[in-house]
Amino acid sequence: MMKIKHIFAIATLIPLTSFLLPQKTMAQEKLFTLEELNFGGNKYRTLLPENKWYAWWGDELVRIDNEQCFLVDKLTGKDIRALTDDENNERKGGAKASTIIKDHQLYVVDAQGKEHQLTTDGSREIVYGQSVHRNEFGIDKGTFWSPDGQRLAFYRMDQSMVTDYPQVDIFPREATYEPDKYPMAGMNAHVVTVGVYDINTNKTVYLKTPQASVCGDSVATSAPIYFTNIAWSPDAKTIYMFELNRDQNDCRLVSYDAATGNRMGELYHETSEKYVEPLHPIQFLPWDSSKFIMQSQRDGYNHLYLYSKEGKLLRQLTSGPWVVQEVLGFNAKQKSVLIAANKYHPLHRQIYSVRISNCKMTQLTTDDGVHRGELSASGTFVLDRHSSPTQPRNISLIDISSGKTVKITHLLQATDPWKDYAQPIFECGSIKAADGVTDLYYRMVKPYNFNPEKKYPTVVYVYGGPHAHNVEASWHWQSRSWETYMAQKGYIVFILDNRGSENRGRDFEQATFRQLGQIEMQDQMKGVDYLRTLPYVDMNRLGVHGWSFGGFMTISLMLNYPDVFKVGVAGGPVIDWKWYEVMYGERYMDTPQQNPEGYEKASLINKAGNLKGKLQIITGYNDNTVVPQHCLSFLDACIKAGTQPDFFAYPGEEHNMRGHASVHLHERITQYFEDYLK
């Protein structure tokens, strides 16, 4: 069965042919509204696929609803009984130490409920226990408990040397000054140290990292070291983390004594002519604490490597022109690691088991599409959430206890919640990149009543930046609901993942190094060339839209190809990378001092005079990701050049519109194309 399915997918997806989903006829017509399609809409949940929420309690599967938790029979998928209050408390782990932050200070609350104050100098400028380095390098939190719950590692961030960006809250009678600490490329960055609190001694030591010769002290410097992916040894005595230089081309895995803060050794060292990007902490084998797994894309793709705790490479566990997308965990009985990867095809995500001893890979999921797994405590069971281009959601339980055969229990197969609506046509295919070699994948969304004899206005939706992708083999090829709204109004929407986007390997993503926007535009224009070959695309009515990096791409395309794109809507756009933040900006562009030519080429300021078509720029008035300086500086450049973009700001909103403001935003985007492209 698996082979048949895979042969079908390879025969239909990899060539330029496409999947067409079954559509409604005119007689069945029921149209969507933005209130139904947009996440901020008041009817949004009515069109979401049916769902169920599960969690693992050891190896027991628990279903959670609004009122109760139920123990689930893993053989049948049916509820056995509701959990008692005592069982629920046990499932949640019972009383244990936790952390809180109040008045800028970090506290630990022990299992008895007693508070321990760890810090006294916390402030807006000295920040404890929160994520640092602007959430780059895989960082999403600032506290890390040891396995025995007796020690807490935490970040201390000194951002006193970082310039304030002058944000303003306009809603009080007298607007108030609410600045953000925003380190721009080439300027001072914050300095981070790592503290370790011992709950038994009530004392804190600081790791003696290269830039912290005195524990707890921070030194303003133009060349900080980034600390990321903090991990504990199983015996809770050692802390491991990756240390990355400011140029982000020299990465070291270093161990520290948790009791003294002393540096113990360097276990791994990786350099690059472009950049190294550590995103995952090391993981020790649960059955052998002398070995750990490390992720790296040093061979060109993100793969797993087995090391001894002394830092000796034992073997590479996975290899090939595909990406390990996630490590789900371990199965101690079978001595294997379970992963999600796109080994089968770049747009598909399957779950695999990899034997540590011989690197043998076994595919555990069989259906084409995108699988996201969650392991039970022993790794014996996998809760698999799956969707495909034609299937909105499946939930299954995979039993791998035998080590030979896989047993699957179906927990949910959601019906199509859009079945009563006139759905657009969702297609997927591939074209060659501007290098003439690399495959790029696209999605195309057509009106439900598409007529190949007609010519349609077409909008290119673009993101194009790193650590994101727009096209995958999930429901509707991962189409955004706004595309459905546009198709319903008579547009074709075209989406292409250019080089620079994720899940295609190191060289694919790093092709844009020091020249953001340039390779991406070349690839997007290959997509435009493809559109030219389609008789139903009206090339005189071609638009472009994107947000954030996609906003940067939208304006870049409008200004570099002014005779191609008639209308553009750019949201939260980067205008000049010298105004973007240090960690992200310098990774891909180096500093403005190191790469003035690259910054000048990517800047949109000096191209403002090229604007010919209609361009609307939209921003959150209090955007703290792409600060308003970008948009306002571009408007100033357009004034000086005599060009006429349109501009709209959302007061109080940040980088993305929240709540019902998102409905207003997408109606505004749509209306702009209706006014000037149709």
Residues with active-site annotation = 548, 623, 655
- Classified as helix, coil or strand, 463 is coil
Helix or strand run (H / E) with residue 319: none
CB-CB neighbours of 301 under 10 Å = 22
- Pairwise CA distance, residues 332 & 344, whole Å: 26
Helices and strands (DSSP H and E) totals, the chain: 11, 40
Cα-Cα-Cα-Cα dihedral sign, residues 284, 235, 116, 153: negative
Q: Are 381 and 375 in contact (CB under 8 A)?
A: yes
Backbone angles phi, psi at 336, to 5 degrees: -135, 160
Residue type for position 669: I
Q: Which amino acid is at 426?
A: F
DSSP annotation of 542 reads E
The first and second tokens of residue 663, run together, are 């409905």
| Tokens, residue 105 | 């200070």
Rounded to 10°, the helix 481-488/661-676 angle is: 40
Q: What are phi and psi of 287, to 5 degrees?
A: -100, -5
Which residue, chain included where needed, has tokens 């673009």? Answer: 462
Which amino acid is residue 619, in one-letter code? T
Is residue 647 a contact partner of residue 616, using CB atoms and an 8 Å limit?
yes
Instruction: Give strand pairing partners of 55.
Output: 62
Cα–Cα distance measured from residue 155 to residue 144, given in angstroms and rounded to the nearest whole number: 9
Stretch (H or E) spanning 531: helix 518-532
